[in-house]
């Protein structure tokens, strides 16, 4: 009898301990949030991979991407399930101005990743090492690191792995500041790819931070942007500006129109002080430019035009005596154009640039520092430098935009509006240039 009672008491105590300890174990599991381990970085982002794949299906079909069958929602989901990857949750990306970047990928079953690691070891040169009993793999040729834990995996490329590893391994119950800004973003809540960036490079340009969000159709990849400046923007976009006729072959193009001439003297001085740091290396007279500028700035680089020119060549005649012979040849001239609107003729300002050596005159043409030779035309309300045969025409414009080619990828920036210290716009990237660049790798 006593024996039975003792057993019952012992079982009751064990059951009580189990019920007492269990909540603590559950709490420990529940307390883990992948957001807490994410490292501070100059650029951070959140990707809902499956939703993004659904949205980009038309883009892949339109561009006839050869491997599009491997980028479908169904295929990627099946691969994720095979390797225990949780693509129902977001994947997180981070990058720094110093050149390193990485991914943090949520997992459902980390053991399933072992077969993927074995496959990579067959196809690539992979070394591994132990850091605090954690096995870390490295693709030696690419300087890519990889490791996995129960709830997540990390892929990192760069020279600062030890620093990133310590951050990811440190226990914390707080989200890092850059990620907090990303997650609290009220502007792009439903987009499938959202990024936040804040860095010293941007700060030196007067930019406090930027939000970016992806939006695509079948022809282009579009990043909506919200750029917050450190100070209020004292001007608005001018919807009735002046521009020049641009070539369809331009690789770089600026078409900017501001209501700059409406600013008062104090505000112009403030703007001049902001730009002075950017121009101090060449002693550019920024105060004089600000006083003269009416708000339109247009620039174009790209394409060529053909000219016929005469030249003198020394030859030997039949008696082996030298003689000078006039010949004709064709030459390709790179296309450059620059137009700046002014509130009065710019003769005095141009002369100041010549006196400082920023512009040099050669015969009837002009050169900016080490640039090609330009022709110049000064009007009452603008001046133009150009390398083309004909003077560019000045025409009305209602758009503010910028086109820049980077590593063969064409980037088109739009500026929609400016409110207080915020610029709203976006970046358009033609989808064909992205896929052509990928195929060239």
User: Which pair of structure tokens corresponds to residue 241?
Assistant: 């500006």
Percent of the chain with pLDDT over 90: 31
3-state helix, strand, coil in the chain (%, to 5): 30, 40, 30
The answer to whether 59 touches 431, Cβ cutoff 8 Å, is yes
Domain-by-domain residue ranges, the chain? 26-175, 204-305+332-440
pLDDT band of 217, cuts 50, 70, 90: low
Task: Give yes or no for residue 16 having a pLDDT over 50.
Answer: no
pLDDT of residue 57: 74
Task: Give yes or no for residue 336 having a pLDDT over 70.
Answer: yes
Residues 231-249 have pLDDT tens digits of 776 666 777 789 998 877 7
Task: Give yes or no for residue 3 having a pLDDT over 50.
Answer: no
The answer to whether 432 touches 63, Cβ cutoff 8 Å, is yes
The residue behind tokens 């990889």 is: 146
> Of 311-325, 357-371, 390-404, where does mean pLDDT reach its minimum?
311-325
Cβ within 8 Å of residue 48, ≥6 positions away? 90, 192, 193
The burial of 37, by beta-carbon neighbours within 10 Å (0-12 exposed, 13-18 middle, 19 or more buried), is given as buried
pLDDT of residue 176: 93
Mean pLDDT across 177-186:
92
pLDDT band of 260, cuts 50, 70, 90: confident
Mean pLDDT across 373-388:
92
pLDDT of residue 311: 76
Percent of the chain with pLDDT over 70: 84
Task: Give yes or no for residue 12 having a pLDDT over 50.
Answer: no
The answer to whether 100 touches 106, Cβ cutoff 8 Å, is no
pLDDT of residue 301: 87
């Amino acid at each position: 009898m006593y024996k039975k009672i003792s057993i019952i008491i012992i079982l009751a105590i064990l059951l009580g301990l189990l019920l007492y300890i269990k909540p603590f174990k559950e709490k420990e599991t529940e307390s883990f949030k992948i957001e807490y381990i994410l490292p501070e970085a100059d650029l951070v982002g959140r990707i809902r991979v499956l939703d993004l794949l659904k949205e980009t299906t038309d883009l892949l079909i339109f561009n006839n991407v050869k491997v599009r069958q491997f980028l479908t929602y169904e295929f990627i989901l099946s691969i994720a399930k095979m390797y225990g990857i949780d693509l129902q949750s977001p994947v997180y990306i981070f990058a720094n101005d110093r050149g390193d970047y990485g991914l943090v990928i949520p997992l459902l079953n980390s053991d399933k990743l072992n077969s993927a690691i074995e496959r990579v070891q067959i196809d690539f040169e992979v070394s591994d090492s132990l850091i605090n009993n954690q096995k870390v793999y490295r693709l030696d040729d690419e300087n890519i690191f990889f490791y996995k834990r129960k709830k997540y995996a990390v892929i990192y490329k760069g020279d600062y792995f030890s620093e990133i590893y310590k951050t990811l391994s440190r226990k914390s119950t707080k989200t890092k500041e850059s990620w907090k800004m990303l997650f609290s973003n009220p502007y792009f809540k439903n987009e499938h790819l959202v990024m936040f960036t804040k860095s010293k490079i941007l700060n030196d340009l007067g930019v406090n931070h930027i939000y970016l969000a992806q939006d695509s159709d079948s022809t282009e990849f579009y990043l909506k942007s919200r750029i917050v400046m450190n100070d209020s923007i004292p001007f608005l976009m001018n919807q009735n500006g002046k521009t020049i006729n641009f070539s369809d072959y331009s690789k770089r193009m600026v078409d900017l129109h501001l209501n700059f001439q409406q600013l008062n003297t104090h505000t112009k001085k403030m703007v001049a002080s902001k730009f002075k740091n950017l121009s101090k290396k060449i002693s550019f007279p920024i105060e004089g430019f600000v006083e003269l500028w009416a708000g339109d700035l247009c620039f174009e680089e790209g394409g060529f035009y053909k000219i016929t020119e005469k030249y003198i060549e020394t030859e030997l005649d039949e008696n082996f005596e030298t003689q000078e012979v006039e010949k004709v040849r064709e030459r390709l001239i790179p296309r450059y154009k620059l137009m700046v609107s002014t509130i009065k003729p710019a003769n005095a300002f141009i002369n100041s640039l010549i006196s400082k050596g920023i512009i040099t005159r050669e015969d009837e043409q002009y050169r900016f520092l080490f640039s090609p030779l330009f022709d110049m035309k000064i009007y009452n309300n603008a001046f133009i430098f150009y390398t083309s045969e004909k003077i560019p025409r000045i025409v009305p414009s209602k758009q503010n935009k910028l086109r820049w080619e980077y590593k063969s990828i064409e980037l088109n920036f739009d500026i929609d509006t400016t409110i207080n210290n915020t610029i709203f716009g976006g970046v358009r990237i033609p989808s064909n240039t992205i896929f052509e660049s990928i195929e060239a790798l």
